[in-house]
Amino acid sequence: MKVLVINAGSSSLKYQLMDPATKEVLAKGLCERIGIDGRLTHKVPATGSEYTFDIAMPTHAEAIQAVLSALTDADHGVIKSMDEIDAVGHRVVHGGEKFSASVLITDDVMDAIRECVPLAPLHNPANITGIEACQKVMPGVPMVAVFDTAFHQTMPKSHYLYGIPYEYYEKYKIRRYGFHGTSHKYVSQQAALMLGRPLEELRLVTCHLGNGSSICAISRGKSIDTSMGFTPLDGLPMGTRAGNVDPAIIEFLMEHEKLSAGEVIDILNKKSGMLGISGVSSDFRDLDTAIEDGNEQAALAKDMFNISVKKMIGSYIAEMGGVDAIIFTAGVGENDRSVRWDICENMEYLGVKIDPEKNKYRGKQMDISIDWARVRVLVIPTNEELMIAQDTAAIVGK
Ligand code: ADP
pLDDT of residue 143: 98
Per-residue model confidence (pLDDT) at position 121: 87
The residue nearest atom 19 of ligand 1, judged by CA position, is: 331
Residues taking part in catalysis: 148
Among protein residues, the one whose CA lies closest to atom 14 of ligand 1: 283
Please report the pLDDT score of residue 328 as a whole number.
98
- Ligand 1 centroid – CA 387 distance (Å): 20
Q: Residue 97 Cα, ligand 1 centroid: separation in angstroms?
A: 30
Sequence-ordered alpha helix ranges (H) in the chain = 60-72, 107-115, 124-137, 157-160, 166-172, 181-195, 248-257, 261-270, 273-278, 284-292, 296-320, 330-335, 337-344, 384-397
Write down the pLDDT at residue 105: 98
**Does ligand 1 have an atom closer than 6 angstroms to the CB of 329?**
no
- Taking the C-alpha atoms of residue 187 and residue 7, their distance in angstroms, rounded to an integer, is 19
Cα(103)–Cα(115) distance, integer angstroms: 16
Please give the distance, rounded to the nearest whole angstrom, from the Cα atom of residue 274 to the centre of ligand 1: 13
- Cβ 210 under 6 angstroms from ligand 1: yes
Residue 384 in contact with residue 369, Cβ under 8 Å? no
pLDDT value, residue 127? 95
Contacts 24+ apart (CB under 8 A), 345-348: 347/310
- Of all protein residues, the one whose alpha carbon is nearest to atom 1 of ligand 1 is 211
The SS3 call for residue 26 is strand
Mean pLDDT by groups of 10 residues along the chain of 398 residues:
95 96 97 95 96 95 95 93 96 96 98 94 92 94 98 98 98 97 98 98 98 97 98 96 97 98 96 98 97 98 98 98 98 98 97 98 96 97 97 93
CA of 204 to the centre of ligand 1 (A): 22
For ligand 1, say whether the CB of 61 is within 6 Å of any of its atoms.
Answer: no
Evaluate: CB of 364 within 6 angstroms of ligand 1: no
pLDDT at residue 104, rounded to an integer: 98
Minimal-distance CA residue to ligand 1 atom 23: 335
Q: Is the CB of 291 under 6 A from ligand 1?
A: no
- For residue range 90-129, list pLDDT tens digits in order: 999 999 999 999 999 999 999 999 999 998 888 899 999 9
Distance (angstroms) between ligand 1 centre and the Cα of 221 equals 26
List the one residue out of 379, 308, 320 whose CA is nearest residue 350: 320
Atom 22 of ligand 1: nearest residue by CA position: 335
